[in-house]
Chain A
Amino acid sequence: MLFNPRAFYRSYDRPQKGHEKVPSWTIEKHRDSPLNATRVESERLRHAAPTEFRYIFPEFLPHPDWKKRDRVAEKLQRRDMLRRRLVLDIPEFYVGSILGVTVADQHVPSKQSRFVGICIHRDGHGLRANFTLRNHIDGQGVEIKYDLYNPTLQNIEVLKLEKRLDEELFYLRDAPATHSTITFDRKPETLPLGATVPVNMKKIPLNPPPWTQRWEKREDLKGIDLPELPEKRMRKLSQIVKPWEKYDLMKEYRKNISEEEQNEIFKEVVQHHTRVEKKRHQERLKRMT
């Protein structure tokens, strides 16, 4: 063979040649091999997971970079995440949804504080999952970043479940305040059962520059209404733009986790779901009696 994949991928480990570490592909091979005396038999789960789970539970998916991955670490994190989800109901939400979050706060007389805002960003894998809420209060833009699995979170309420045209809404910082303002006493809006999550096709008009980022360079952002910019600024765009990226299949492949692996991960979530439903059913029965 002209192309030796093993030698090629070994080049990733090249700076660590002779280093005191186990090559990443070896550690997984050893864990599953019959030579491992402390082998843990993996449980074969029967139920298949629905495909929407990758969007509802994005933090369960691991980092796409294989050099940063370890199956046992991910498994232990998922176990802790599902335990927390049994205690606190973490709802389905997306960037663009409006949330109300209650947090235990020791610096306040009531020891609890509530913040309402629009979700502008969602990030992190496993227990590091976080989301950022933005609001405009008394003429001041405020953003708060919450750890999803922080035990001081008392309640996460989705006031409006919807999506936007983009996966991140940092451009709201350079938009008029009205687009980030949400009243604290907003009533929750519920969608009918079985409805798909609506996509808000709003295009945000930006304030005149200067901006926090050069939004004209971001060709991936569909939700912005760019104003008139000087010709000199627009001339540079032609040098920066990468029109071939949308045809780059390998880049797309490297960014995502394979479907087979996603299925294995979400089978655990399916188990958790059935457990949660059972628990809620028991609580309902208790309330009735």
Chain B
Amino acid sequence: MASTCRSLCSAGVLAKCFSISQTRCILDTKPFVRVLVPTHYQQQRGVRKRPPEPFARKRRARIQDSGLSPANESFLQEVIANEAMSKVEELAKMNCPLKDGPWARGEWRKGTKRTGVVGVKIGCVPHWTTKGKKMYLTMLQVLDNHVVEYLTPDEFAQTRFVQEFHPKMKGKLGAVFVGSMGIDPRRLSPLELSLFEKHGVPPKRKVFKFVVTPNAAIRPGTPLFASHFRVGDYVDLQAKTIDYGFQGVIKKHGFKGGRGHGTTRWFRRVGSIAPGRRDVIPKGQKMPGYMGNKWRTLKGTRIYKIDTKYNVIYVKASTIPGPLHAYVRIMDSKLPNRVRERELDPPPIPTFYPQDSPEPIPEEIYHPDLFRFDMESILFPPDDPALEKKKKSKTAQKK
């Protein structure tokens, strides 16, 4: 029985059809072969490889494969959690003005750039203004942010980023690296762990870089919260767009395509790609290709509400790039009018320290134009009789 099974369908043949890791062919004494065909198998066409990010993670072996007994595993998890929490407490003490304290705070000057914050897109909700107009606010949660590293302008100038791509930044701008969301240190390589241990920051899942002026330098280990921004501020939101994969020209570029019926084999095609008899296809000709998974910025969105308990920022935008739970880089807006407004009313630099405010910080901070759901229902005021009389007299004159 077993020999006939093997001759009918060998694992080698199957391995040639599908990639070996995705198929498991079980040959046993039973008279049929059970084969797991991967139903999700699809050719993966990826984006061109770009240079890796400075903190690109290479995952170690999965923790489940560590071979520890459940009791030892739970003990290790406790130890890791306690270590992480003790680090956070240490850092909180460091940033207390009583002992050692945060670095000397810079003065706001013209052209100051301060650090941003790493948020996660949670969802989009409808809200109303006090005048009854509906708008959609997106919620961005600032989860567990800590400053991981600060590079002075001279240190930053030595990196490839400045030398090759932005030589004008040399000596003028430093870099703040902000990490979001803790991660089990066993998932990181020793090199990556050393980067976090340099300043005693618990290891982070995701790290982003923000370019800052030296007067907005932050001490590594400082926690960043949603209150880094104020209600009424304008922010730029940067995130990676939804990855649609390899897409045709209709979805990717909005081409009209052909008719569904009555045409001869022309439904979703590109059509003409070059004019006349010349053999030259113009550069930038729209064709099918990889769509999405690109960094895009949404500029000049306004903050209407901040929840300090859950660290959620409500921003007036419904078209933030990325799917749900995408990382979003939140920064002060670079739009010229917003920069000018900021000069007149500068935000706290380098960041908002909780010990700064004399009163306890309210749990929810609203913009005065935003309708709070504990307010009375909106009523429109009756018409002003004087205005009505004026309008009537005008129309009478016209007649």
Contacts and interface: CB of A to CB of B under 8 A. Distances in A.
Given A76-B139, A83-B374, A19 B128 contact: no
A287 B356 CA distance: 46
Interface of B (DSSP majority class): loop
Given A35-B80, A36-B144, A36-B182, A22 B205 contact: yes
Interface stretch (A67-75, A164-172, A212-220): A67-75
B183 A35 contact: yes
B378 A152 contact: yes
Interface in A44-90: 67-68, 70, 72-73, 76-77, 80-81, 83-84, 86-88
Interface stretch (A8-16, A201-209, A222-230): A8-16
Nearest to B328: A20
A128 B125 contact: yes
B193 interface: no
Nearest to A150: B128
Interface stretch (A101-109, A131-139, A253-261): A101-109
A221 interface: no
Contacts of B183: 35
B85 A37 contact: yes
A73 to B, nearest CB: 4
Interface residues of B, number: 64
Contacts of B380: 104-106, 111
B125 A35 contact: no
A241 interface: no
Contact of A30 (B81, B123, B181, B239): B181
B325 A86 contact: no
Given A20-B240, A35-B84, A76 B182 contact: no
B134 A22 contact: no
B379 A73 contact: no
Given A15-B243, A30-B181, A83-B374, A70 B325 contact: yes
B125 A126 contact: yes
Given A15-B245, A22-B327, A151 B322 contact: no
Interface string B33-52: 00010001000100000000
Interface residues of A, number: 53
B360 interface: no
Given A35-B183, A80-B373, A72 B310 contact: yes
A111 B379 contact: yes
A27 interface: yes
Given A36-B144, A154-B377, A128 B126 contact: yes
Contacts of B323: 16, 19, 21
26 contacts: A2-B24, A11-B40, A14-B40, A16-B323, A19-B323, A20-B240, A22-B206, A24-B325, A30-B144, A30-B182, A31-B143, A33-B182, A34-B85, A35-B80, A36-B144, A38-B144, A68-B324, A70-B122, A80-B373, A81-B373, A87-B373, A104-B379, A105-B380, A111-B380, A150-B134, A151-B373
Q: Which 8 A-B pairs have the closest CB atoms?
A: A34-B81, A35-B182, A73-B123, A83-B373, A20-B240, A21-B326, A106-B380, A84-B373
Interface of B: 24, 36, 40, 44, 80-82, 84-85, 88, 120, 122-123, 125-128, 132, 134, 139, 141, 143-144, 146, 181-184, 202, 205-206, 223, 225, 239-240, 242-245, 293, 307, 309-312, 322-327, 371-383
